[in-house]
Amino acid sequence: MRTQHRLGALFERMAIIAAIATLLLAACGGSAAPTATPIPATPLAPSPTPMPTATIPGPVDTPTAVPTASPTPTRAMMATPATGSEASAGLIFRIVPEQSEARYRVREQLLGRSLPNDAVGSTRAIEGRIVFMADGAIDSAQSRVTVDLTTLRSDEARRDNYIKQNTLEVARFPKAEFQPTAARGLPWPLPQSGEFSFQLEGNLTVHGVTKPVVWDVRATVDGSRITGTATTTVTFADFGMTQPRVPIVLSVEETITLELDFTVEPQS
Is residue 29 very low, low, confident or very high in pLDDT (cuts 50, 70, 90)? very low
Spatial separation of the C-alpha atoms in residues 62 and 217, rounded to whole Å: 64
3-class SS string, 130-184? EEECCCCCECHHHCEEEEEHHHCECCCHHHHHHHHHHHCCCCCCCEEEEEEEEEE
Q: How does pLDDT run across 37-74, given as a tens digit for each residue?
A: 444 444 444 444 444 444 444 444 444 444 444 333 33
CB 117 within 8 A of CB 108: yes
Across-strand partners of 261?
A: 101, 229
pTM above 0.75, yes or no: no
**pLDDT for the residue numbered 108:** 80
Least trusted range by pLDDT, from 136-150, 184-198, 239-253: 239-253
Q: Could you give the count of Cα atoms lying within 13 Å of 232 in the half-sphere of its Cβ?
A: 19
Q: How does pLDDT run across 75-125, given as a tens digit for each residue?
A: 332 333 333 334 444 799 999 999 999 999 999 876 656 667 889 999 999
**Cβ neighbours, 10 Å, residue 134:** 20
**pLDDT for the residue numbered 61:** 47
**pLDDT for the residue numbered 15:** 55
Q: Could you give the count of Cα atoms lying within 13 Å of 72 in the half-sphere of its Cβ?
A: 1
Amino acid making up residue 250: L
Residues in Cβ contact with 108 at an 8 Å cutoff, skipping those fewer than 6 apart? 116, 117, 118, 119, 244, 249, 250, 251, 252, 253
**pLDDT for the residue numbered 74:** 34
Kindly tell me if the per-residue pLDDT of 184 is higher than 60: yes
**Cβ neighbours, 10 Å, residue 261:** 17
Select from 226, 228, 238 the least CA-distant residue to 259: 228
**pLDDT for the residue numbered 158:** 87
**pLDDT for the residue numbered 3:** 46
